[in-house]
Amino acid sequence: MTVIDLSKTSLRDLNQRLHDLNGADRNNEWRITNPSGEHAIAVGLNAPTNVQIDGPVGYYCGGMNKEAMITINGHCGWGVGENIMSGFIRVKGNASESAGASGRGGMIVIEGDASSRCGISMKGVDIVVTGSVGHMSAFLAQKGHLVVGGDVGPDLGASIYEAVIYVQGKVNGLGTDCIEKDMTPEHRKNLARLLQEAGVDMNPAGFRRYGSARKLYHFNVDHADAY
């Protein structure tokens, strides 16, 4: 395992060394100590390597991730895993706003709460939050899954497309064109798979499903006030 102390190594040098790992195998392991809330740690990775970050991080940690497995042993700031393409990011703490924004693939697991706009404009990423999320989560979500073990703030799934939302706790208001849908055996099986992949212990039986009513796909003058 390669250990990098960010109190002694610059963030630019760290990220460059991680970028140079293109083609490395999964046995390549890195540990980052003393992150001290730095922004943009381990962004743009393009190798199936394991990265552990011991402490809180700032904005955009793990952004544009491809293939890497990143574990954050602490809280994280805005945009963790922003535009993630593949791989896996685990946050062992709370996440600030816009977790997984525009994510296209892979999985993000937040073992705590996430703030507002969690999963905004998600395009294929799977996000599992064991705690609660803030307002306008899954706003403009196009594809993928958002699983919330706790409560959800107002305007959940506003202007959602074909992403799927599963919520175990209280929903404090649905956004425009988002509705509750039947929780079929097929969806419960899908949720069980997501929870298993996320490595979290939650019972799929307690969740409800939400998605698009499909009324905003095309402009309709009768719905003009909703735009």
Residue 69: beta bridge partners?
Answer: 50, 88
Q: What is the DSSP letter of 97?
A: T
Same domain? For 21 and 111 the reply is no
- Answer yes or no: is 158 within a domain: yes
Average pLDDT, rounded, for the chain = 95
- Answer yes or no: is 13 within a domain: yes
Same domain? For 58 and 111 the reply is no
Instruction: Please state, in angstroms and rounded to a whole number, the distance separating the CA atoms of residues 17 and 45.
Output: 10
Instruction: Please state, in angstroms and rounded to a whole number, the distance separating the CA atoms of residues 68 and 41.
Output: 13
Q: Which helix (H) or strand (E) holds 15?
A: helix 11-19
- Answer yes or no: is 91 within a domain: no
Same domain? For 146 and 114 the reply is yes
Nearest to 137 by CA among 165, 108, 169, 106: 165
Same domain? For 101 and 51 the reply is no
Are the CB atoms for 41 and 61 separated by under 8 Å? yes
Are the CB atoms for 4 and 38 separated by under 8 Å? no
Q: What's the pTM value of the predicted model, to 2 decimals? A: 0.94
Range of the domain at 199: 97-217
- Answer yes or no: is 90 within a domain: no
Same domain? For 107 and 195 the reply is yes
Same domain? For 166 and 205 the reply is yes
Q: How many domains does the chain have?
A: 2
Using left for φ > 0, alpha for ψ between -120 and 50, and beta otherwise, residue 225 falls in alpha
Instruction: Please state, in angstroms and rounded to a whole number, the distance separating the CA atoms of residues 145 and 123.
Output: 9
pLDDT of residue 24: 67
- Answer yes or no: is 197 within a domain: yes
Each residue's pLDDT tens digit, 64-91 = 999 999 999 999 999 999 999 999 999 9
Overall average pLDDT of the 56-69 stretch: 97
Count CA within 13 A, CB hemisphere, residue 145.
Answer: 24
Binned at pLDDT 50, 70 and 90, residue 219 comes out as low
Residue given tokens 């996320």 in the structure block = 198
Same domain? For 109 and 198 the reply is yes
Same domain? For 59 and 134 the reply is no
Same domain? For 44 and 124 the reply is no
Angle at 51 between CA 45 and CA 54, to 5 degrees: 130
Same domain? For 31 and 123 the reply is no
